[in-house]
A and B are shown apart, each in its own frame.
Chain A
Amino acid sequence: DTGVSQDPRHKITKRGQNVTFRCDPISEHNRLYWYRQTLGQGPEFLTYFQNEAQLEKSRLLSDRFSAERPKGSFSTLEIQRTEQGDSAMYLCASSNLQQRGGTDTQYFGPGTRLTVL
């Protein structure tokens, strides 16, 4: 098991450009989460998927953000018309939730650090 991987690890872009990040979860994990971490803060929940279905989006996720998880495997997070306030570390996590009301450890990837100039 190779763990959760994220690509790219670093992304520098100019304001107004679009960026896309990829997350590959641990194989056969049915839950996939995206979090955002800004300097001096803990990670904040953005959205999550159960298999291919996106079940919840945080109010932090403006309409410039979109996430997909086709076929319930890898996921992409796209930010359109980036703003300087989007600069942050974007973290992906996956888990294998077997039953409602239970829980499973969320395993985190190394993150993608976005810098918007």
Chain B
Amino acid sequence: AQSVTQLDSQVPVFEEAPVELRCNYSSSVSVYLFWYVQYPNQGLQLLLKYLSGSTLVKSINGFEAEFNKSQTSFHLRKPSVHISDTAEYFCAAITNFGNEKLTFGTGTRLTIIP
């Protein structure tokens, strides 16, 4: 069975500092990977996704993630965070290409310190 692991439940970071949110997956088959963000009192929004091709994928607001097959990781990074990045971030995977259901990690709460 596939699983997604986010080891850090909370990550406090000073404003304008870099951040990395870790995500590891376990799957013996091909995988699609996603990062979703949940701002306070809002629904989940897709931040970025890896389906195939270039292993480095980027979002419009400065986040990027790199698919690393050998390390089974899909860590999310941003070189300089802003107060508005405060949110919960969920890594998710699809390995069953029949139902395309998402398997989520437990989430990482990113808190930006002014």
Contacts and interface: CB of A to CB of B under 8 A. Distances in A.
A91 B46 CA distance: 14
B44 A91 contact: yes
A86 B43 CA distance: 20
Contacts, number: 61
Interface string A88-117: 000101010100111111111111000000
Interface string A47-64: 010000001100000000
Chain A interface bracket (under 10, 10 to 19, 20 to 34, 35 or more): 20 to 34
A103 B104 contact: no
A48 B90 contact: no
A28 interface: no
A42 B92 contact: yes
Interface string A77-89: 0000000000000
B106 A45 contact: no
Chain B interface bracket (under 10, 10 to 19, 20 to 34, 35 or more): 20 to 34
Interface string B74-114: 00000000000000001010100111111111110000000
Contacts of B46: 105-107
Contacts of B28: none
B42 interface: yes
Most buried by A among B43, B104, B107: B43
7 contacts: A41-B107, A42-B92, A42-B107, A48-B99, A93-B44, A100-B98, A109-B43
